[in-house]
Amino acid sequence: MNNVVSNPFGSSAPQAAGSSAATSDHHRAIAEIQAAMVIAQQNPRNQIAAMDRILNSCTRPSLANAAIYNYAKGGQDVSGPTIRLAETIAQQWGNIKFGFSEMSRGQDRDGVGYSDVKAFAWDLETNTERPLNFRVRHWIDTKSGGRKTRDEREIYELVANMAQRRVRSCILSIIPGDVTEAAVDQCAVTMHATADTSQEAVQKLVSAFASIGVTKAQVEARIQRRIDAIQPAQIVSLRKIYASIKDGMSGPDDWFSAEQDDRAKKTGAQGLKSVVNPGAARKDEPSDAEESERMNPDEKQPQTVPQQMPKREADPAQSDWSEEDEANARAAEVAEAAEQQPAGATPAPRARFDGGGVMGGAFISSWLRMVFSAATFAKSPLTVDRSNFANRSARGGTNGQRGGIAQAKREALKAKRRKAHKRRVR
């Protein structure tokens, strides 16, 4: 016998609060869809009036300038309506519901999150729906690689950017094709009719391109003329390109060539080094201080420039001139100069920049100068007779004259050796 009395106000199976809320939302969504379909059936669209509204909207310059995208593919230009024009057509056509919604989120095996998104377009009057499900990874591609999204704002912007293209595809799939073509043609006519080439309009166009990273020089390179001489047809073309870049169908690099860097203008090894490693190229270049030091020698250096010997000319008998002969000729020249040098004067060093036999002749010359300097210093270690310079000038014993005598001797020796060489050849 059961002595328990049941509660007449109680329920047989208690329900959770979350389940009841989900059920309520589900029923409300069904009711909204049914109400929209009923209203669409009771108020069918007038296609003639809808087409007039679409064409009138396309006569607005602001919409026409952003209505057509254009990009290059396979050597041909591909154009079509942008998302802005697709939304305008759907609004003026009437009884169409479109958009996108984020269904769920998850995480891949590599730790990058993703969102499952649904884009759709629904003609409530004809009950024609085009859904499109896709997945968006929470990953942003950059020129230096890629990275994960940092916050909810970046996730929303990434999802919305990817979803808008799918929404456009869904809208254009349920709108008759001739309606879309007529709208595109009207936008093209509007752009050509309202192509403003005034200075203010051109400056506004250049500023618009500057906001997406395209400079004035790149625009001029694209149209092959100065921006002041732009034509209406080129204005229309640039507006299509701008709409394509803003719509995400193409990038600036697809239409405009990159500006050449000053380092790339260098030629040869320096130009290659400046492009591959700019820091090393700048390091190799002389600084202002080094350049000034090179152009202006140090004041501590001697002010008198040593007399240079004339450069020996090449001749057929040059191969017979050995290093020993060169050293002997050099020693004879120094000995002759020492004989003409007055007592008490220090012989001035002379530089030599000509060819073979430099090491041998330079060694003997240095040794002889050291001997004569020691002898002179032993005679008068603290005083130097400066009148010798005047006496030497009066006698005409300059370095140039003595060098001329030595040069004459060498020429005579060369002529003698050439004659001997000719006799051996015969």
Which domains are seen in the chain, by residue range? 34-193 (3.30.390), 199-254 (no CATH), 316-425 (no CATH)
CA angle centred on 328, ends 326 and 334, rounded to 5°: 105
The rounded distance, in Å, linking the Cα atoms of 308 and 52 is: 97
Question: Is the pLDDT higher at 85 or at 195?
Answer: 85
Read off the pLDDT of each residue in 103-119 and give the average, rounded to a whole number: 93
What's the pLDDT at 47? 93
The rounded distance, in Å, linking the Cα atoms of 131 and 122 is: 8
Question: Is the pLDDT higher at 161 or at 424?
Answer: 161
pLDDT band, residue 84 (cuts 50/70/90): very high
> How much of the chain exceeds pLDDT 70, in percent?
61
Helix (H) or strand (E) holding 237: helix 232-247
What's the pLDDT at 166? 94
What's the pLDDT at 297? 46
pLDDT band, residue 141 (cuts 50/70/90): confident
Reading the block at residue 190, the tokens are: 């509007």
User: By C-alpha distance, which of 306, 314, 335 is closest to 400?
Assistant: 306
pLDDT band, residue 355 (cuts 50/70/90): very low
Question: Is the pLDDT higher at 273 or at 203?
Answer: 203
Could you give the count of Cα atoms lying within 13 Å of 175 in the half-sphere of its Cβ? Answer: 32
Question: Is the pLDDT higher at 175 or at 372?
Answer: 175
Read off the pLDDT of each residue in 183-203 and give the average, rounded to a whole number: 88
pLDDT at 344 over 50: yes
pLDDT at 111 over 80: yes
pLDDT at 310 over 60: no
Does this model's pTM top 0.85? My answer is no
Give the model confidence (pLDDT) of 255-273 as tens digits.
887 765 444 444 545 555 5
Give the model confidence (pLDDT) of 204-263 as tens digits.
889 988 988 889 888 888 888 888 888 888 888 888 888 888 877 788 888 887 765 444
CA angle centred on 255, ends 253 and 259, rounded to 5°: 60
Reading the block at residue 93, the tokens are: 């056509």
pLDDT at 23 over 90: no
Give the sign of the dihedral formed by CA 314, CA 317, CA 322, CA 327.
Answer: negative
Reading the block at residue 242, the tokens are: 């701008």
What's the pLDDT at 94? 92
Read off the pLDDT of each residue in 54-58 and give the average, rounded to a whole number: 94
Lowest mean pLDDT among 3-7, 49-53, 83-87, 191-195: 3-7
Q: Which of 14-18, 177-181, 280-284, 351-355 has the highest mean pLDDT?
A: 177-181
